């Protein structure tokens, strides 16, 4: 079946194509009665104006963009991004705003994508994730004048509005939990050090643990199960192995749990495991994993509302997420052996 066009609507309504465009875009130039008739015919034949036509008529594409620069194989099992996108979609869908989502090989490719989208009027604004230290994307987006909401710390956002979480306070919750159980040597398996959230968590981990008189070590990984296992084995093979390890995501924590059990270690007696982010996986494994629960879906919805506001009037304020809830489960407990 042939897709209906603006010419089809104009012919059935007995008006010009310009009149149809005025009616569909809510512009003056047609009477109220004519507008209602045109809208009814458009609905009857199933005509929807294309994003290109809409952009040409009112400067809006009716779409927002999201580019993620991470390996494709990690996104399929990464609950964080799925929850974030769910929150964004839940906010945009009722307004018939499209989320244009794609992946990039690196930051240069991501910047090229932003330039192309803006030149082609493909999107009205973008969500910026995985903010990096000295991030080149921030200056480019500001120079383009492209409405942007950062999902990450305002410290590296260059004045762009941001939805962010208090990494130090969250770190204090986790470290305090482990210290309260009697752990004196704890480790952290973090993510890419180029990310702002990794840097903030590393700095907070060292500061909070030092204030509590704990011995610590941090190692970098890439959020994958393989790196989580490798980092765990390296930490446990050391002469002063930790009695507890904090992981920057649930995937690494669950993979490490499995590796520890295969090595004959009892969790939590020989090793306590906690995760920065919670998911259904943390509850399904045995022992279940202690984790911080964030309202990531709401963070995505908040970011969407902020971006809509930014595209409407160019102004949006940053927003700090509420504190996480520590879900204490079976993977954390007092160490069986007290180390010196």
Q: What is the largest CA-CA distance in the chain?
A: 89
pLDDT at 56: 45
Please state, in angstroms and rounded to a whole number, the distance separating the CA atoms of residues 200 and 153.
9
- The answer to whether residues 111 and 260 belong to one domain is no
- The answer to whether residues 145 and 262 belong to one domain is no
Q: Looking up tokens 């009716």, which residue turns up?
A: 62
Token pair for 111: 């910047």
- The answer to whether residues 92 and 124 belong to one domain is yes
Please state, in angstroms and rounded to a whole number, the distance separating the CA atoms of residues 248 and 326.
14
pTM: 0.81
pLDDT at 22: 78
Counting as low any pLDDT under 70, the low residues of the chain are 1-3, 48-59, 72-76, 337-340
pLDDT at 2: 61
For the chain, what is the domain count? 3
Indicate whether 1 belongs to any domain: no
- Name 325's Cβ contacts closer than 8 Å, sequence gap at least 6: 292, 293
Where residue 145 falls (left for φ over 0; alpha for ψ -120 to 50; beta otherwise) is left
- The answer to whether residues 12 and 31 belong to one domain is yes
- The answer to whether residues 161 and 301 belong to one domain is yes
Is-cis flag, bond preceding 287, omega within 30? yes
pLDDT at 1: 47
Indicate whether 54 belongs to any domain: no
Indicate whether 181 belongs to any domain: yes
pLDDT at 24: 79
Beta bridge partners of 215: 185
pLDDT at 207: 95
DSSP helix/strand/coil, 320: strand
- The answer to whether residues 182 and 241 belong to one domain is yes
Token pair for 51: 């994003």
- The answer to whether residues 319 and 278 belong to one domain is no
Q: Which domain holds residue 28?
A: 6-49
Please state, in angstroms and rounded to a whole number, the distance separating the CA atoms of residues 20 and 26.
10
- The answer to whether residues 45 and 145 belong to one domain is no
Please state, in angstroms and rounded to a whole number, the distance separating the CA atoms of residues 225 and 278.
15
Q: What is the side-by-side strand order in the sheet with 290-293?
A: 215-220, 185-190, 244-247, 272-275, 290-293, 325-327
Segment (H or E) for 220: strand 215-220
The model's pLDDT over 314-331, given as tens digits with 9 standing for 90+, comes to: 788 999 999 999 999 999
Token pair for 200: 């903030």
- The answer to whether residues 272 and 213 belong to one domain is yes
pLDDT at 76: 67
Token pair for 297: 């879906």
**Sign of the four-CA dihedral 64, 70, 72, 74:** negative
Indicate whether 234 belongs to any domain: yes
Neighbours of 160 (CB within 10 A): 22
Beta bridge partners of 218: 188
> What's the CATH code of the domain at 69?
3.40.50.2300
> What's the CATH code of the domain at 19?
1.10.260.40
- The answer to whether residues 174 and 160 belong to one domain is no
pLDDT at 336: 83
pLDDT at 28: 75
pLDDT at 59: 56
Please state, in angstroms and rounded to a whole number, the distance separating the CA atoms of residues 281 and 279.
5
**Sign of the four-CA dihedral 27, 28, 32, 36:** negative
- The answer to whether residues 44 and 102 belong to one domain is no
- The answer to whether residues 273 and 313 belong to one domain is no
pLDDT at 157: 93
The model's pLDDT over 266-295, given as tens digits with 9 standing for 90+, comes to: 999 999 999 999 999 999 999 999 999 999
Indicate whether 230 belongs to any domain: yes
């Amino acid at each position: 079946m042939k897709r209906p066009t603006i010419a089809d609507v104009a012919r059935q309504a007995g008006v010009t194509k310009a009149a149809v465009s005025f009616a569909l875009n809510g512009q003056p130039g047609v009477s109220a009665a004519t507008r209602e008739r045109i809208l009814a015919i458009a609905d009857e034949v199933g005509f929807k104006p294309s994003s290109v036509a809409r952009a040409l008529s009112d400067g809006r594409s009716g779409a927002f963009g999201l580019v993620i620069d991470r390996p494709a194989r990690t996104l399929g099992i990464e609950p964080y991004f799925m929850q974030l996108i769910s929150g964004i979609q839940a906010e945009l869908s009722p307004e018939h705003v499209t989320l244009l989502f794609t992946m990039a090989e690196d930051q240069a490719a991501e910047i090229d994508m932003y330039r192309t989208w803006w030149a082609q009027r493909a999107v009205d604004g973008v969500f910026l994730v995985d903010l990096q230290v000295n991030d080149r994307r921030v200056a480019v987006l500001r120079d383009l004048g492209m409405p942007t909401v950062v999902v990450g710390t305002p410290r590296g956002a260059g004045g762009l509005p941001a939805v962010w979480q208090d990494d130090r306070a969250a770190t204090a919750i986790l470290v305090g939990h482990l210290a309260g159980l009697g752990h004196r040597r704890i480790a952290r398996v973090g993510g890419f050090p180029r990310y702002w959230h990794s840097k903030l968590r590393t700095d907070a981990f060292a500061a909070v643990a030092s204030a509590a008189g704990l011995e610590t070590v941090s190692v970098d990984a890439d959020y994958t199960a393989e790196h989580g296992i490798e980092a765990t084995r390296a930490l446990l093979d050391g002469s002063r192995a930790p009695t507890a390890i904090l992981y920057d995501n649930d995937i690494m924590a669950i993979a490490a749990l499995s590796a520890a059990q295969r090595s004959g270690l009892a969790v939590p007696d020989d090793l306590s495991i906690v995760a920065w982010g919670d998911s259904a996986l943390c509850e399904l494994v045995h022992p279940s994993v202690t984790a911080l629960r964030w309202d990531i879906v709401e963070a995505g919805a908040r970011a969407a509302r902020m971006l809509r506001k930014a595209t409407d009037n160019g102004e949006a304020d940053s927003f700090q997420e509420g504190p996480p809830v520590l879900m204490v489960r079976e993977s954390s407990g007092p160490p069986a052996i007290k180390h010196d």
